Structure 1
């Protein structure tokens, strides 16, 4: 159904007198599990604080959203399928650059505008007092807040706001001595994003919301002035001096699942030997999970190291495993990570944050984008070995990293000390308090 500007205004006029109390928030979060999950956790914390919360995300995240008791408004699509079918997976494995990866994925986001248009045909979608937007550059969320004339709060788990002090994530830092290089990386990244979204966003603004087009170069200059909550720690990303006061660190948004009961097999495995290393590549899919599993097992054999293999989207461990390796489907990281010696993973912001929180070394094998940034921060902070890009991963390199993470006492002490600092932060409480102050 096409929503005309008149229809939108009629909805708002009809509902203005009966807006729900307590205040209602809509969270717009579209991406992989690592993008969506922190927003689900934040939504649950807001709901516990007395807000009513709706989460708009891909349909395949319905069980996750329902598990945390949030109102669910699905956009058609499956992030895992979209990543694999768009060609992004093949490009990642062939080692092509981020520009080509993005070009392969950009077509999938045309579905977002169509899905949001379908949602807007339902009058209850307009019953909201504020929008929390996870997508880079605000995009659809900013346009919706503009039409409804309600507050917009940007939320992020990756540092992507302009600064002169370091380059945009995924850009190399080595030419930083060049005047203006850091600023240029943000402009290039912004236009890369906008080139993929411009047509769909502007069509949606004009045909659905009755708004004018965004400028040809976008509206990125507004981002630094928009209230923004960063779901990570200044102990990991020092605050740039040129950021506006509207940008606030909260600390990590880490869930607690007290009702979860560990399976007996996992408990026995943890009790039967020294702390293992977890290997998990989260929402990163690979074409040959058997080959990747074999590589990981070889690294474990070279180091005589016990492992837990979490299957994830990579499909690890779907074969016969030695008794020193446990195949895991799921366990809450808050429960599992303190019981580990270290964690090998792709470098998603959430998994990285749990590694920091637990005070154990992170071993990163990044696939793309911000994962390389987190690997660099881990190395600089001395809480993990140098990252090994996925396309360069070998059993021998992984074995060396595992040995370092387990035996380097200075690294382990730094990781433990950093963990103590991170655990003193309450990211969810800080975020909720900030939102209450902005909206109430």
Structure 2
């Protein structure tokens, strides 16, 4: 079977899908991966065929900052380029399209053009439900409100891309234009199922999701060839387990100020720390001996060795944190990060999240003291981690996708 995976975003957005692609290839399938050109090394290391989209994820995120509307506009401004790069005729040589883009954008049209199945794949809950509102919307006790937020979110995304996509459909794909309200009622149906790469133990399945909305478990990448540098191993082994602090791909306008908050919080709480530079450039200053700076270490190796995790709440980082069995506290910037931070706290696996714009030394110190010092919280984190470790999300997903392509 030939599988095409379309995924755009930060490294954390793309990496689970690369892991999924690697799992497909190990099962004997051929995989083409469509993503930004700067992710070529990630796709190559997973030994997948690569079809590049012009653009640089890091630059897009840096230009938009932590402003979600600006981030959406940044990606939307490149829509013409997406259409151009997705017009290559060889993209029709596939048996299945797995689409990470919200609301099935672009992948829906390719599937229609080449008469192949498409599945919407997500690592955050985006399928319509009455159970809770779409991420990014507040919780309000209004009849019908929760489900309405999904319709509104879909239309925000669709109207931003509608003109470009309809022009592309007409001029390049020779398809009729889509209606004003789009095609979203077809997602989560037998024709266009939704496959969710997160854990049932973290996101409880809503009662109104039908049989075409699947939960497989997380799609974890593995970095088995990585060996820790001696100085990192020596630091970890030299004392009590440190606290990990890092904000991944999130831009930080004043990294020195945030670094100082981190250092003061660690000092006041009496903890050692691992500081991840990330895209925000934290730690570019003289650091005390009890804090070690890293540019990269695979989370599946690093997190289980920590006393606690402070991170931005990206879906991938959250998944690794929960699987590690170590308490986490999310310092959230945008969108799904607020949701994951609240979810961790609701599950008892970490302190209440902190909004990045409200981050202070006092709040961070209190979160560290609670996460490191509360035995009940630590036990909850351990129990949840063990449950997640029993899941094989990639194997489960493979069964779902093979069933999709073999349906009558």
Aligned to 1:398: 364
Aligned to 1:57: 35
Contact 1:120–1:126 (CA under 8 A) maintained in structure 2: no
The alignment status of 1:367 with 2:333, answered yes or no, reads: yes
Q: Runs of at least 4 residues of structure 1 off by over 6 A? A: none
Contact 1:347–1:365 (CA under 8 A) maintained in structure 2: yes
Q: Distance in 2 between matches of 1:274 and 1:154?
A: 44
Q: Distance in 2 between matches of 1:195 and 1:269?
A: 51
> What CA deviation, in whole Å up to 9, does each residue of 1:394-436 have, x standing for no partner?
0110000000000011100000001110000011111112222
Give runs of aligned pairs for residues 32-431 of structure 1, distance below 5 A: 32-85=10-63, 88-89=64-65, 92=67, 101-102=68-69, 105-121=72-88, 123-173=89-139, 175=140, 177-225=141-189, 226-431=192-397
Aligned residues: 404
Shift of 1:172: 1.4
Contact 1:83–1:105 (CA under 8 A) maintained in structure 2: no
Shift of 1:290: 1.4
Q: Secondary structure at the match of 1:295?
A: helix
Moved more, 240-249 or 429-438: 429-438
Moved more, 428-437 or 377-386: 428-437
**Shift in CA distance, 214/110, structure 1 to aligned 2, threshold 3 Å:** farther
Moved more, 106-115 or 142-151: 106-115
Q: Secondary structure at the match of 1:262?
A: coil
Gaps of 5+ in 2: none
Aligned to 1:5: none
Contact 1:103–1:196 (CA under 8 A) maintained in structure 2: no
> What CA deviation, in whole Å up to 9, does each residue of 1:51-98 have, x standing for no partner?
11011001111111111111111101011101222xx21x63xxxxxx
Moved more, 351-360 or 191-200: 191-200
Gaps of 5+ in 1: 1-22, 93-100
Shift of 1:320: 1.3
Moved more, 43-52 or 105-114: 105-114
Contact 1:29–1:133 (CA under 8 A) maintained in structure 2: yes
Moved more, 106-115 or 372-381: 106-115
Moved more, 255-264 or 107-116: 107-116
Q: Distance in 2 between matches of 1:58 and 1:295?
A: 34
Aligned to 2:5: 27
Coordinate RMSD, CA, aligned: 1.3
Contact 1:348–1:371 (CA under 8 A) maintained in structure 2: yes
Q: Secondary structure at the match of 2:21?
A: helix
Q: Distance in 2 between matches of 1:341 and 1:276?
A: 5
Contact 2:60–2:74 (CA under 8 A) maintained in structure 1: no
